[in-house]
């Protein structure tokens, strides 16, 4: 039977004061939880207000009840909260005073007894035998169980009170702790005055003004809590939270190598539940975490032996990097009792460092390439203007030179007999011919810019050049070795200009071996990456790595080229030959022709002595039939 019908109730003005106390109490409970950020003590405080609220709420309905049955129902409802009041207060007291460790068992006993009272009171009429009507409304009457219930209630309340009293005595005067304890002591002593409500339960008509005590408690407790808070922020209170806010993993390992403390970061670092580590030997606890188990043990011994601080960086099988530092924890007698390990996960940092190092290398590489390309561009521009200048000069000088030469030859024929004059004319003729050679070289260089391409095999071009030099080769007793590839793809080449290239290269080789030697010509198809060292390795060449090329190598057994000259060989007018023998334009023209064909030329010294000229021409994906003009030869 639940008396939820409105006819069971009539308004009773005596209900107003307890209702006011109820509202104020509820507001305080919620306010404290909010203010203390739902801390454990604040939730306990709220529980206290809740148990008192149950009592006030049920009694308000009981006062308004018009019949004894309804009043009795509400009187019993109140006891869902009333026996729990001392238990909740006791709980709050020992938590706020930091005494839960010593009084935990008592606390459990108090809660069990309180719960037993609730069940018994609701289920039997041993405590509440009925209701009695007073001038303020219906009120419960106690039976025999009151003999047990009231002592329980007051003893527990007294115990809380004594805790506050002793804590207050031990608190350092003037500190927030002492102020808070005093404030709560006063607030709780006042609320005990609410016990006056028990008098009417024994048939004595004393008005139950316990709500006044509750109101006073609200005011006093609110004041104490607002000013001094429920919990003092001491190192002991803050330590566990501070440990868990540290990003580094912190382990405390005692002298027996047992883990005594591990913060939340340990769990994150080792991907385990850090609470499971406590009390375990370090070697077994960290087994399977893939790192540092033996290390830690080893370090522990070392740190113990040395009694000092250690720090180092260690890696794991999973590629993680952890920096570790240790320090010694000492007791009050300064005796070492444990080692503190601080582990900092450096994996991300190391990865970032590695990435930035790689980026730096790549950047350096691009920078070098850019520089190289820049230099080549400058060189190309230089060549361009030198070529234009050379062409202009050569054109102007060519015809007058021809006339001078004709004149010299004519005079030589006419002035027969005079030996002195004949000699002068011969020298003059030689000088003019030398000048003519330079002019022709300059013209070659400047006209090298336009190509007339036909499909032709490189072997054919080489053979043609060798034919032109047959006399020269024989004269110098040159041994000629041909190592041609079986079949070379046809290439779009300007035959005349490519012949000129090989004539230049062969002439240089012949001139490097005046006493005779071996000239070896090799041709082959190659991929750029498997070509001999130093060739086609650099990206600035116009080839992609892996591209197919036709390669011709011209090796001689001459003296080779001095290291400091290798860079200058292709410069216009660079020559080491005596005046009259070299113009220094041969390789300049050669290079410009090769590059116009989209190829490249390198000159290097052979390991066994002598020079090697390497010429590579791209196949560009096709052989026969891809060229615009068919082979004329
Ligand atoms: P020139 O032959 O008129 O001197 P080049 O441009 O053809 O001009 O050659 C420039 C220089 O390169 C030569 O003077 C010579 O010192 C060097 N050279 C070229 N080829 C060889 C070679 N096979 N052996 C040694 N030196 C060489």
CATH number of the domain encompassing residue 59: 1.20.1070.10
CA of 545 to the centre of ligand 1 (A): 29
- 403: domain CATH number is 1.10.287
Q: Report yes or no on 1 lying in a domain.
A: no
Pocket of ligand 1 contains residue 562 by CB under 6 Å: no
The residue among 148, 164, 276 whose CA lies nearest residue 221 is 164
Atom of ligand 1 nearest to the CA of 504: 7
**SS3 annotation, 282-296:** HHHHCCCCCCCHHHH
Token reading at 387 = 């070529």
- 585: domain CATH number is 3.30.565.10
Atom of ligand 1 nearest to the CA of 581: 3
Report CA torsion sign: 470, 473, 476, 479.
negative
Token reading at 581 = 């023998």
Q: Report yes or no on 633 lying in a domain.
A: no
CA of 587 to the centre of ligand 1 (A): 7
Q: What is the pLDDT of residues 419-462, one digit of tens each?
A: 888 888 889 988 888 888 888 877 777 766 678 899 999 999 99
Pocket of ligand 1 contains residue 586 by CB under 6 Å: yes
Atom of ligand 1 nearest to the CA of 576: 14
The residue among 45, 48, 44, 67 whose CA lies nearest residue 56 is 48
* Cα(193)–Cα(208) distance, integer angstroms: 10
The answer to whether 544 and 527 have CB atoms below 8 angstroms apart is no
Closest C-alpha to ligand 1, atom 3:
582
Pocket of ligand 1 contains residue 577 by CB under 6 Å: yes
Q: What is the pLDDT of residues 263-305, one digit of tens each?
A: 999 888 888 888 888 888 877 777 766 555 447 555 556 555 5
- Are both 77 and 205 inside the same structural domain? yes
- Are both 341 and 384 inside the same structural domain? no
Helix (H, G, I), strand (E, B) or coil at 490: coil
Pocket of ligand 1 contains residue 605 by CB under 6 Å: no
Residue 624 scores a pLDDT above 50: no
Token reading at 566 = 């290798």
The H-assigned helical ranges of 79-99 are 84-96
C-alpha of 627 from chain center: 54
Q: Report yes or no on 629 lying in a domain.
A: no
- Are both 259 and 110 inside the same structural domain? no
Pocket of ligand 1 contains residue 584 by CB under 6 Å: yes
Q: Report yes or no on 628 lying in a domain.
A: no
Instruction: Tell me which of 415, 430, 446 is where a domain ends.
Output: 446
Q: What is the pLDDT of residues 310-334, one digit of tens each?
A: 556 666 656 677 788 888 888 888 8
pLDDT level of residue 51 (50, 70, 90 thresholds):
very high
Least confident of 76-85, 317-326, 355-364, 477-486: 317-326
Residue 144 scores a pLDDT above 60: yes
- Are both 550 and 573 inside the same structural domain? yes
Least confident of 2-11, 178-187, 401-410, 550-559: 2-11
- Are both 388 and 315 inside the same structural domain? no
Structural domain of 608: 454-618
Beta bridge partner(s), residue 65: 9
- Are both 422 and 478 inside the same structural domain? no
Pocket of ligand 1 contains residue 572 by CB under 6 Å: no
Pocket of ligand 1 contains residue 509 by CB under 6 Å: yes
396-425 average pLDDT score: 86
- 288: domain CATH number is 3.30.450.20
- Are both 440 and 462 inside the same structural domain? no
Q: What is the pLDDT of residues 527-566, one digit of tens each?
A: 876 554 444 444 445 566 677 899 999 999 999 999 999 9
Pocket of ligand 1 contains residue 519 by CB under 6 Å: no
Q: Report yes or no on 551 lying in a domain.
A: yes
CB burial of 538-561 (b: ≥16 within 10 Å; e: otherwise) equals eeebebeeebebbbbbbbbbbebb
CA of 73 to the centre of ligand 1 (A): 122
Residue 496's H or E segment, with its range, is: helix 495-512
- Are both 465 and 402 inside the same structural domain? no
Pocket of ligand 1 contains residue 558 by CB under 6 Å: yes
* Cα(628)–Cα(452) distance, integer angstroms: 10
Pocket of ligand 1 contains residue 556 by CB under 6 Å: yes
Atom of ligand 1 nearest to the CA of 554: 23
Backbone angles phi, psi at 31, to 5 degrees: -60, -40
Closest C-alpha to ligand 1, atom 16:
576
- Are both 155 and 286 inside the same structural domain? no
Q: Report yes or no on 289 lying in a domain.
A: yes
* Cα(75)–Cα(80) distance, integer angstroms: 10
Instruction: Tell me which of 446, 477, 506 is where a domain ends.
Output: 446
CA distances to 24, 179, 628 from 186, in Å = 18, 11, 111
Atom of ligand 1 nearest to the CA of 584: 8
Q: Report yes or no on 350 lying in a domain.
A: no
The answer to whether 90 and 154 have CB atoms below 8 angstroms apart is no
Give me the number of domains the chain comprises.
4
CA of 580 to the centre of ligand 1 (A): 14
User: How many DSSP H helices and E strands does the chain contain?
Assistant: 18, 14
Of 504, 566, 569, which is best to mutate to test ligand 1, by the most ligand atoms within 8 angstroms of its C-beta? 569
CB burial of 266-286 (b: ≥16 within 10 Å; e: otherwise) equals bbebbebebeebeebebeebb
Q: What is the pLDDT of residue 304?
A: 56
Q: What is the pLDDT of residue 629?
A: 34
CA of 576 to the centre of ligand 1 (A): 7
Pocket of ligand 1 contains residue 575 by CB under 6 Å: yes
CA of 400 to the centre of ligand 1 (A): 29
* Sequence-distant (≥ 6) Cβ neighbours of residue 124 within 8 angstroms: 145
Q: What is the pLDDT of residue 125?
A: 93
- Are both 263 and 341 inside the same structural domain? yes
CA of 428 to the centre of ligand 1 (A): 26
Pocket of ligand 1 contains residue 583 by CB under 6 Å: yes
DSSP sequence for 595-625: HHTT-EEEEEE-TTSSEEEEEEEE-TT--TT
Q: What is the pLDDT of residues 469-507, one digit of tens each?
A: 999 999 999 999 999 999 899 999 999 899 999 999 999
- Are both 216 and 73 inside the same structural domain? yes
Of 508, 570, 590, which is best to mutate to test ligand 1, by the most ligand atoms within 8 angstroms of its C-beta? 508
C-alpha of 466 from chain center: 64
Closest C-alpha to ligand 1, atom 12:
569
Pocket of ligand 1 contains residue 429 by CB under 6 Å: no
Q: What is the pTM of this model?
A: 0.44
DSSP sequence for 178-197: HHHHHHHHHHHHHHHGGGGG
* Cα(443)–Cα(508) distance, integer angstroms: 20
Of 441, 587, 601, 609, which is best to mutate to test ligand 1, by the most ligand atoms within 8 angstroms of its C-beta? 587
Instruction: Tell me which of 215, 232, 249 is where a domain ends.
Output: 232
- Are both 369 and 292 inside the same structural domain? no
CA of 575 to the centre of ligand 1 (A): 6
Q: Report yes or no on 25 lying in a domain.
A: yes
Helix (H, G, I), strand (E, B) or coil at 259: strand
CA of 554 to the centre of ligand 1 (A): 13
């Amino acid at each position: 039977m639940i008396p939820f019908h409105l006819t069971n109730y009539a308004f009773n003005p005596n209900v107003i004061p307890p209702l006011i106390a109820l509202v104020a109490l509820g507001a305080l409970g919620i306010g404290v939880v909010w203010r203390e950020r739902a801390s454990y003590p604040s939730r306990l405080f709220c529980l206290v207000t809740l148990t008192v609220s149950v009592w006030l709420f049920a009694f308000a309905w009981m006062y308004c009840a018009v019949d004894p049955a309804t009043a009795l129902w509400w009187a019993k409802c109140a006891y869902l909260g009333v026996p729990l009041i001392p238990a909740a207060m006791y709980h709050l007291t020992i938590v706020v005073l930091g005494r839960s460790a010593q009084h935990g068992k008592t606390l459990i006993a108090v809660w069990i007894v309180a719960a037993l009272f609730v069940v018994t009171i609701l289920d039997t009429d041993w405590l509440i035998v009925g209701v009695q009507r007073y001038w303020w409304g219906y009120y419960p009457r106690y039976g025999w169980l009151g003999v047990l219930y009231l002592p329980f209630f007051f003893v527990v309340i007294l115990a809380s009170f004594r805790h506050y009293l002793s804590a207050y005595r031990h608190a350092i005067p003037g500190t927030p702790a002492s102020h808070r304890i005093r404030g709560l002591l006063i607030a709780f002593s006042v609320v005990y005055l609410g016990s006056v409500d028990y008098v009417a339960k024994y048939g004595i008509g004393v008005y139950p003004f316990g709500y006044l005590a509750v109101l006073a408690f609200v005011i006093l407790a609110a004041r104490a809590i607002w000013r001094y808070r429920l919990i003092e922020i001491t190192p002991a209170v803050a330590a566990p939270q501070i440990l868990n806010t540290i990003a580094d993993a912190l382990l405390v390992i005692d002298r027996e190598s047992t883990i005594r403390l591990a913060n939340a970061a340990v769990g994150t670092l080792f991907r385990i539940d850090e609470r499971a580590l406590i009390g375990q030997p370090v070697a077994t606890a960290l087994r399977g975490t893939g790192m540092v188990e033996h290390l830690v043990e080893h370090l522990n011994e070392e740190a113990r032996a040395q009694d000092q601080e250690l720090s180092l960086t260690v890696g794991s099988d999973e590629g993680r990097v952890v920096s570790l530092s240790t320090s010694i924890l000492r007791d009050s007698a300064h005796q070492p009792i444990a080692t503190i390990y601080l582990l900092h996960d450096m994996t991300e940092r190391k990865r970032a460092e590695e990435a930035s190092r790689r980026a730096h290398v790549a950047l350096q590489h691009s920078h070098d390439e850019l520089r190289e390309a820049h230099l080549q561009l400058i060189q190309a521009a230089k060549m361009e203007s030198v070529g234009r200048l050379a062409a202009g000069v050569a054109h102007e000088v060519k015809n007058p030179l021809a006339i001078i030469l004709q004149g010299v030859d004519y005079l030589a024929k006419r002035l027969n007999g005079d030996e002195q004059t004949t000699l002068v004319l011969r020298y003059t003729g030689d000088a003019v011919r030398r000048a003519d050679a330079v002019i022709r070289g300059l013209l070659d260089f400047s006209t090298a810019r336009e190509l007339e391409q036909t499909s032709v095999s490189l072997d054919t071009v080489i053979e043609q050049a060798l034919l032109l030099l047959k006399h020269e080769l024989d004269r110098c007793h040159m041994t000629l070795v041909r190592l041609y590839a079986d079949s070379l793809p046809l290439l779009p080449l300007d035959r005349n200009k490519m012949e000129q290239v090989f004539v230049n290269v062969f002439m240089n080789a012949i001139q490097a071996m005046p006493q005779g030697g071996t000239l070896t010509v090799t041709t082959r198809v190659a991929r750029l990456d498997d070509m001999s060292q130093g060739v086609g390795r650099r990206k600035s060449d116009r080839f992609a790595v892996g591209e197919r090329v036709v390669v011709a190598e011209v090796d001689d057994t001459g003296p080779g080229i001095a290291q400091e000259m290798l860079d200058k060989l292709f410069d216009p007018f660079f020559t080491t030959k005596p005046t009259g023998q070299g113009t220094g334009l041969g390789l300049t023209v050669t290079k410009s022709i090769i590059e116009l064909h989209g190829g490249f030329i390198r000159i290097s010294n052979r390991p066994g002595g002598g020079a090697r000229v390497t010429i590579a021409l791209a196949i560009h994906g096709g052989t026969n039939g891809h060229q615009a003009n068919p082979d004329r030869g």
